[in-house]
Amino acid sequence: MHPLSSIPSFLFTLFAVYWGWIATAVPDRQPFIELTKPSGADASASVLLDYRFVPIYWRWWSAFKRSHATVGSTVLLALFLNYLIPPLSAHLFAPQTVLLTNFAPLAFAARYDASRIGANMDWRPIMSAVAATKLYNGGRIPWTDEQRAYRPFRAAAVTDGDARVKANTSAYAAYLSCEVVRDYSMTLNRRSSTSGTITMTGKDRGSGVLGRRDFSRLVFTAGTFPTSSQNLLGNVSVISCATGYRSQQGVLTVSGAPASSSSSSSTTAITIHSFAPHHGLSQSAEWTTTDFGSLVLYLAQKRAPAGFLGAEVLAQSISDIFTSVYMTAVAVNGMEQTSGDAATGGGAVSTPTTRLFVVLWMAYVVAFLALALWFAFFVFVHARNTGAF
C-alpha cells in the first residue's frame, strides 16, 4: 500500500469527527426548537424529548418518525462518515506501475558468425540444452525465445534491473517443412536372421530425396524392429524435411539486458561429434537413433504417449526440435564477441515506477461527501445567524 493513499482516509476521519460534533448537538437542541414554534409543542416532543436515550444506530429512524428531518439526516450522515466512508476512502487512490521511457545509446558486443556453426563443433552441449528447455521446461537460453536467437545488445549507461530496453536488432532462425513420404520402397540385403542393410528409395515433392546427406533436405525414417518383418522394420514412417534459414531485422524489447552480452564458447570442439552419425539397430535397446533422434522421440512421447511413432506426431516434433537446436546453437556458439562495443545508435529504455491513480467509483463518493460538507457548512452558518437551532 502506498503511503500517500492513506491521506484521504485521514481527511475523511477529521471530517467525521467534526460532523459527529454537529450530530451530537443537533438532537440536544431539538426540544428547544419545538418550544419556539408559535403554536407550541406537546411535552413528548419538547421537554420530555431526549434523543440521548435512543441508540445512535436507529436514532435517525426515530427522528424521521417525529418529522425531525434535520436530526434524522444529520445522524444518518454521521453513521455513514464513521462506519462506511473511512474504509472506502482508503481506496480512493490505487498504486499502479507505469513505464517512464527515455532514449539512451545502445551497443552490440557480439556479432553473428555462421562459420562458428557446423560439423567442427561439439553438438552434445547443444542437445543437452535443448533437452533441458524443450523437454523439461527449463529456463530459456539468454537472448532467445521459442524459435529465434537474437543478436544481444545492452544500454551504454547503467539501467535499473527491472528496466525494459527496446532496440533494433537481428533475429536468426531455422525451420523445417516436413512431409510424410508415401511413395517409397525398401530393399533388404540380409546378412542373418536379425541383421542386414536396408536401402530406401523414393520421391518427395517431385524429386528423389531419400539417401541424400546434405543439410538442405533431411530425411527421417522411424519404425519398429520385429524379427518377423520381411524388411526387419515394421510400422515404417518416412519423413522428408526441407530446411529454411531466416535472418531478419526487427525491434526487440528485453527486460534487464545483461552487461555481458554473449557467450565465450569456443568453436573448436574437444571431440568431433556429428549431428547425424551413421548407426545400426539393436534389439536390446528401447530405441536406436542419433542424439537428435532421441530428442525427437522424447518430445513425441511427451505429446502423444500412446502413438508417438505416428508420422504426423514425428513430423511436428522433428520440426520443433530442429528449430530449437539451431536457435540454441546460434545463441551459444554463433555469436562472436567483438573487440569493443559497436555503437548502434539510440534505443528506448523504459523504467517501471509506481504512480497513484484515482479510482473512479471512489471519486463519486468524494463528490457526495463534498455535498455533505456543503450541507454541514449550511447548518453551521444557519445556526449562528438565526439562532434557530
Say which residue the cell 493513499 belongs to.
5
Range with top average pLDDT, 107-121, 248-262, 331-345:
107-121
Higher pLDDT: 253 or 375? It is 253
3-state percent helix, strand, coil for the chain, nearest multiple of 5 = 40, 30, 30
List, in sequence order, the alpha helices (H) in 80-114: 85-89
Cα separation of 57 and 64, whole Å? Answer: 13
What are the extents of the domains in the chain? 3-92+359-386, 99-349
Distance of CA 91 to the CA centre of its chain: 27
- pLDDT > 70? residue 206: no
Q: Is 304 left (phi over 0), alpha (psi -120 to 50) or beta?
A: beta
Cα separation of 36 and 151, whole Å? Answer: 89
Extract the C-alpha cell encoding 291.
542424439
The mean pLDDT of 346-350, rounded to a whole number, is 79
The mean pLDDT of 294-314, rounded to a whole number, is 91
Question: Whole-model pTM?
Answer: 0.63
List, in sequence order, the alpha helices (H) in 80-185: 85-89, 124-130
Cα separation of 175 and 199, whole Å? Answer: 27
Strand pairing class (217-224; 234-255): antiparallel
pLDDT of residue 3: 62
pLDDT of residue 270: 30
Across 70-84, 107-121, 267-281, least confident range: 267-281
Distance of CA 85 to the CA centre of its chain: 36
Q: Would you give the DSSP letter of residue 144? A: B
Strand pairing class (335-358; 93-112): antiparallel
Mean pLDDT of the chain: 77
- pLDDT tens sequence across 226-243: 766 666 677 888 888 888
Contact 239, 313 (CB under 8 A): no
- pLDDT tens sequence across 105-140: 888 878 899 888 887 888 889 999 999 999 998 888
CA distances from 39 to 29, 35, 50, 70 (A): 18, 9, 21, 20
Extract the C-alpha cell encoding 302.
511427451
**Torsion 202-204-208-213 (CA) sign:** negative
Contact 8, 89 (CB under 8 A): yes
